[in-house]
Amino acid sequence: MTEPHYYIPLDNNELFVGREAYLNHLKALFDQKKRNIALVRLGGVGKTQVALQLAYWVKECRKEHSVFWLPALSHGSFEQACAEIVSTLAIPTTADDNDARRTLQRYLSSDGAGKWLLIMDNADDMELLFTAPSGMIQYLPERGNGVILYTTRSNEVAVSMARSDNVVELGEMDSQEAHKFLMKSLGHTTLLCDEISTNKLLEKLTYLPLAITQAATYLRINKMPLADYLELLDTTEADAIGLMSEDFRDDTRYRGSQNTIATTWLVSFEQIRSTKPVVAELLSFLSCIEAKGIPQSLLPQLGSAQQLASAIGTLCAYSFLVRRGTSRVFDMHRLVQLAARNQLRQAGGEGQEIRKAVQHILEVFPNDDYENRDKWREYLPHAFRVLGKDIGVDSEEKYNLSFWIGRCLQVDGRIKEAVFYFKQTTWWRDSGHREEHPSRLASQHALAMAYKADGQVKKAVELLEHIVMV
């Protein structure tokens, strides 16, 4: 029998409560060997936690199954997770294709993979999933002895990926479940609560697990009575409405949940910005990069190593960052990131923070020596994210980073992507440097070599002839 493998980058959540019926439904569909299952509802209602419980149940109770977890927030995070699985399992690549996504697809489609559960978390974006040529769906196994579970906010995605009877719609908590969840989240600080204030708070939070978690975190850290916290929420409500007016539009959310989430976080954001400027600076950086798979080595130093560790600890204490087990890799909930970025945007500081993030990532980004492959694979999703921000940020640093991304992608065998980034750099340097400038010639030569590797020989020859002439 094939030995099972596990790639679950999140820890089992001990606070899980009130979702047993939905979890049992998923268990039943899994045991029925349904090929595709979807868990759908708004962001922040607990889809990821239910999926996580299923993953650990399979690991503990269906021991013949491997479990794999892939984030679907972006192409970068998806490909990075595929690369980590391929590397961990030492899955061999083919001579003509070392794309980790294809390699994992072939493996899971084979008998050698045995039985498995694959979880596609945050599969919300139809374009990311289905648009050719890089839609994620083309890299998922179409055969093999396994089950794929999608967590999504989009009903369109859910019904596209799973039959209607295999779609589980996760409902909101009722008042009793929410009360139990709040008490469990507060732990030993429950003496700060009274029944009237507790009920009022839960109603204000619309029984939303993510909002309850953040409110409980704030109460624990600040040892604040619930009544005082309610006053803070009331005074922050107007700011929350503005904060949620753009990126948080979502017809799948319960009425009022946008403001609920923003309000609870804004209270914490404001305290951090007023009392811990180093933590606020780190939070601003995090709002600019990929939300998942954040290596500590990528973070700006912000003074001493002790100051950085303290800042990370503060964000983890507020549940804005979650450490992956005992590793030095962190995840940030995408709604937290949206809220932090929107606050930057409202203050007029988003462009400046993007420029700072680009400059920092350029400083720490490794060169294309093959021995740096693991590091650049970790960093690439975050580099993609900052370069993809369309807010009019053009600078030498941006296109220098684009150049090194292209170099690493080419060594990694991702030729078409390398061509794209080399073209970006070449366009910038052609417009800003004289014809014989070394940087301009270097980017043209790199683009020519990428063209050649991509089979675009005519373009490569034309560019090389131009370089020789210069």
What are the structure tokens assigned to 34, written together? Answer: 């349904």
Structure confidence at residue 190 (pLDDT):
55
∠ CA(6), CA(11), CA(13), 5° rounding?
130
Question: Rounded to whole angstroms, how far apart are CA atoms 104 and 93?
Answer: 9
Question: Is the previous residue joined to 133 through a cis bond, with omega within 30 degrees of 0?
Answer: yes
Question: Rounded to whole angstroms, how far apart are CA atoms 272 and 265?
Answer: 11
Using pLDDT thresholds of 50, 70 and 90, give the confidence band for residue 188.
Answer: low
On average, the pLDDT of the chain sits at 85
Rg over CA atoms, the chain = 24
Report the range of poorest mean pLDDT among 46-50, 76-80, 269-273, 350-354.
269-273
Give the pairing of strands 115-121 and 36-40: unpaired
- The tens digit of pLDDT for each residue in 119-129 reads 999 898 888 99
Q: Which domains does the chain have, with CATH numbers?
A: 6-169 (3.40.50.300), 175-275 (no CATH)
- The tens digit of pLDDT for each residue in 112-157 reads 999 999 999 989 888 899 986 789 999 999 888 999 999 998 888 8
- The tens digit of pLDDT for each residue in 42-95 reads 777 788 889 999 999 999 999 999 999 999 988 988 998 999 999 889 888 776
Question: Rounded to whole angstroms, how far apart are CA atoms 216 and 283?
Answer: 20
Question: Rounded to whole angstroms, how far apart are CA atoms 52 and 47?
Answer: 9
Contacts of 327 (CB under 8 A, 6+ apart): none
Residue 448 confidence (pLDDT) above 50: yes
3-class state of residue 342 by DSSP: helix
8 Å CB contact between 287 and 337:
yes
Quick one: which H or E segment has residue 295? strand 294-295
What are the structure tokens assigned to 232, written together? Answer: 């803070």
∠ CA(258), CA(259), CA(260), 5° rounding?
90
Question: Rounded to whole angstroms, how far apart are CA atoms 397 and 363?
Answer: 9
HEC sequence for 63-125: CCEEEEEEECCCHHHHHHHHHHHHHHHCCCCECCECCHHHHHHHHHHCHHHCEEEEEEECCCC
Using pLDDT thresholds of 50, 70 and 90, give the confidence band for residue 255.
Answer: very low
Question: Rounded to whole angstroms, how far apart are CA atoms 9 and 291?
Answer: 14
- The tens digit of pLDDT for each residue in 297-336 reads 999 988 888 899 999 988 887 778 888 888 999 998 777 8
Structure confidence at residue 172 (pLDDT):
77
More confident residue, 31 or 206: 31
Give the pairing of strands 145-152 and 115-121: parallel
